[in-house]
Amino acid sequence: MAGMCQEWIFKNKYFVDHTPQQVILFRIYIMADDNFLQEMSLSGKYLIQLVVTCIMRATGFVRRIDELGRFLIPKEIRNSLRIKHYSSLEILTDYEGEVIFKKFSPIKELGLLVEEYAQSLYNSLGHTVCIADKENIITVAGSNKKRLLNRQLNPEIERIMEERRIKLCATPLSLTADDVAISTSIIIAPIIVDCDVIGAVILMSKNPDAKMGRLELKMAETAAGFLGKQIAI
């Protein structure tokens, strides 16, 4: 039973964003309560609620809601979680009346479609393809996948995305905030939905002899437009 529940948890997209330490906690919790789970026959939904309860922690902040239903998220929390003025938050509730705000990424919601599109671009062009939201790299096809996946974007990449036009950078530029991947040539095509930039399709190459031109620019632009249409539907 524990093995089945554990497999179900790791397949569920709710846990994709959690840290390795939290994943270890999931494993320990399930292994320790194997008999309990068998006796109770917990459903997958209730199991999620139990595990989330294990990792939630009090912040010490209490805020009142004003007459318009608004409240302020403390600056310390916004800074630590990189919640900006344009960030989207998903509102979740549970059976105990708890209200949970979760950072929402429309790119992630496309799921397998994003991965398959990135892989198709890589197969056609031979350049590493990354598809990112406004903060992190969501999917990677090509080399350095393990080093790039789920990494935080370089602020310079975020700034280029905000220019709202496709750009070819022929000078060395780091894709991530921690400089794990410095490319010699990179194309950034913003994904725009309802006049808002929600992410980008990024083509990159670390080979100094690799040249990107009109074909790569058009392919990246087409991919960004297609993904934007899928999100808008």
* Domain that includes residue 31, residue range: 2-105
Q: What is the pLDDT of residue 13?
A: 42
Count: domains in the chain: 2
Tokens of 126: 């031979």
Let me know whether 84 and 23 are in one domain: yes
Q: Is it the case that residue 219 has pLDDT exceeding 50?
A: yes
Are both 29 and 46 inside the same structural domain?
A: yes
Alpha carbons within 13 angstroms on the beta-carbon side of residue 177 total: 11
Q: 96 and 116: one domain? A: no
Nearest to 2 by CA among 28, 46, 37: 37
Max CA distance (Å), the chain: 63
Structure tokens at 89: 């938050």
118 & 75 share domain? no
Gyration radius from the chain CA atoms: 20
Q: Are residues 121 and 227 in the same domain?
A: yes
Statement: residue 141 has pLDDT above 70: yes
Distance from first CA to last CA of the chain, Å, rounded? Answer: 39
Question: For position 58, which CATH number holds?
Answer: 2.10.260.10
Q: Per-residue pLDDT tens for 52-105?
A: 444 556 677 788 888 888 888 888 888 877 777 777 787 888 777 788 888 888
User: Based on the domain organization, do 143 and 101 belong to the same domain?
Assistant: no
Residues 220 and 141 grouped into a single domain? yes
CATH assignment at residue 161? 3.30.450.40
92 has which bridge partners? 100
Helix or strand (DSSP H, E) at 182:
strand 182-183
Given 39, 70, 105, which residue is the final one in a domain?
105
Q: Is the pLDDT of residue 181 over 70?
A: no
Residue-level length of the chain: 233
SS3 167: strand
| Whether residue 187 sits in one domain with residue 100 | no
Q: Do both 84 and 113 map to the same domain?
A: no
Residue 170 contacts by C-beta under 8 Å, 6 or more apart in sequence?
A: 184, 185, 212
Q: Which residue is it, tokens 């630590």?
A: 80
| Matching residue, tokens 């569920």 | 12
Pair of tokens at residue 146? 């393990």
Shared-domain flag, residues 112 and 223: yes
Last residue of some domain: 76, 105, 134? Answer: 105
User: CA torsion, points 163, 168, 169, 174, in degrees to nearest 10?
Assistant: 70
Q: Are 123 and 213 part of one and the same domain?
A: yes
Q: When comparing pLDDT for 223 and 49, which is higher?
A: 223
Domain's final residue, options 105, 126, 144: 105
Whether residues 76 and 162 fall in one domain: no
- The answer, yes or no, to whether residue 27 has pLDDT greater than 50, is no
**Pairs from 67-73 (Cβ < 8 Å, separation ≥ 24):** 73/101
